[in-house]
Amino acid sequence: MQFDVVIVGAGHGGAQVAVMLRTQKFEGSIAIIGEESELPYERPPLSKEYFAGEKEFERIQLRPARYWDEREVTMLLGKRVVAVDPAAHTVATDGGETIGYGKLVWATGGHPRVLPIPGGDLPGVQGVRTRADADADAMKAASETAGQIVVVGGGYIGLEAAAVLNKAGKKVVLLEAQNRVLARVAGEELSRFYEKEHRDHGVELHLGVCVDAIEGDTRVTGVRLSDGEVIPADLVIVGIGIIPAVAPLIAAGADCANGVRVDRLCKTSLPDVYAIGDCAAHVNDFAEGAEVRLESVQNANDQANVVAKGIVGDEAPYHAIPWFWSNQYDLKLQTAGLSTGHDQAVLRGDPATRSFSVVYLKAGKVIALDCVNATRDYVQGRMVVSAGLEAGPEQLADIETPLKELLSV
């Protein structure tokens, strides 16, 4: 088998490369190789509407099956790429096939981190990364019989899962190793707000705790903390991040660090091999030129567009403002920019109203916003971050002044 473009990973980024190539009138052959047996689907609903059983799987597919057929995108699903031969321009699958490529796009995302502790792989301990993990029926069945569910990890996925399970009437205990939730991605104000929300809804939150072991013989029965306390659990959901799925590229000699390193055109150090999305470490203009790996649909899609355009000869460096969202209870969080490294956080509005924003500054410049039930701030915040607005805390805190007005001051 030989294709002009081979895309490894049938997720957000991989699908978008194929979509954009055809939009750009690329006439060569395209194949997508995917480890999962599903056609590309949206991942965010796995901890939101799909997990809650509110959306059918068909409704979270990125495109219907006929779309791929009509555009002659060959789907090679249920196959894992295990090796890349950059000299021969081929990849090998776990089923022993060798597939040749003109250009290779690596869009494999990451595998969920597992708890590296005794019992971490017991039945009843699971991540939320794939449709199979979050399968509404299986999860419903497991959680219906579960008396108490422990969620390990107070990042977005853990918090979203806790909210869904809590809404379904389950008793949920959430464990976070740091002394606040969302410590990696948001400022303290936002962390404290979400902690209060979860507690008010009845989630039992333990901060600054270390999980030592998962207890149980044939199935999980509890979670043991480092202080010896055992929290009973019939189901444990683990959301502690991902490990970029780049082993075959490392073995092939690609320059890898935290993920596979790419340049501004999303090219790896291997000839004719691109990488995008969760697995790609890149220099980001909105991180002040730092090398980062972003785990967001925005990043996967925008990098996919850079690659597809590059392949058709319309090269332009990646420059897109990062954005993200999270739904918990009736709260819609929208984030613009990257707050990492901020030296000041300004509260805009009153968290008690459940509609407010946090504006992050670095050296007087607005670098990011977290907007809770505040879509206007978010929309205008994207403009403000893109423009690198410099504004005083009093101006930013004044909710009577729309953010975009500060641009013209």
Which residues are at the interface with ligand FAD (CB under 6 A)? 8-14, 33-36, 43-44, 46-47, 80-81, 107-109, 128-129, 157, 245, 277-278, 295-298, 300, 324-326
Nearest-approach distance from CB 280 to ligand FAD, in angstroms: 8
Cα angle, residue 317 at apex, residues 253 and 39 outer, rounded to 5°: 70
How far is residue 221's CA from residue 214's CA, in Å, rounded to a whole number? 8
How far is residue 5's CA from residue 36's CA, in Å, rounded to a whole number? 20
Write the CA distances from 253 to 85, 111, 227, 373, integer angstroms: 10, 21, 44, 46
| Burial status of residue 55 (CB atoms within 10 A of its CB: 0-12, 13-18, 19 or more) | middle
Nearest-approach distance from CB 405 to ligand FAD, in angstroms: 28
Which residue, among 403, 383, 382, 399, has the nearest Cα to 334 in the 3D structure?
Answer: 382
Nearest-approach distance from CB 108 to ligand FAD, in angstroms: 3
Nearest-approach distance from CB 160 to ligand FAD, in angstroms: 7
Nearest-approach distance from CB 36 to ligand FAD, in angstroms: 5
How far is residue 165's CA from residue 215's CA, in Å, rounded to a whole number? 22
Nearer to ligand FAD, 8 or 238 (CB): 8
Distance of CA 219 to the CA centre of its chain: 29
Nearest-approach distance from CB 8 to ligand FAD, in angstroms: 5
Nearest-approach distance from CB 259 to ligand FAD, in angstroms: 10
How far is residue 405's CA from residue 3's CA, in Å, rounded to a whole number? 51
Nearer to ligand FAD, 107 or 346 (CB): 107
Nearest-approach distance from CB 43 to ligand FAD, in angstroms: 3
Nearest-approach distance from CB 267 to ligand FAD, in angstroms: 16
Cα angle, residue 63 at apex, residues 62 and 68 outer, rounded to 5°: 130
Q: Give the nearest residue (CB) to ligand FAD.
A: 11
Q: Are the C-beta atoms of 409 and 390 separated by less than 8 Å?
A: no
Nearer to ligand FAD, 125 or 361 (CB): 125
Nearer to ligand FAD, 155 or 187 (CB): 155
Nearest-approach distance from CB 236 to ligand FAD, in angstroms: 16
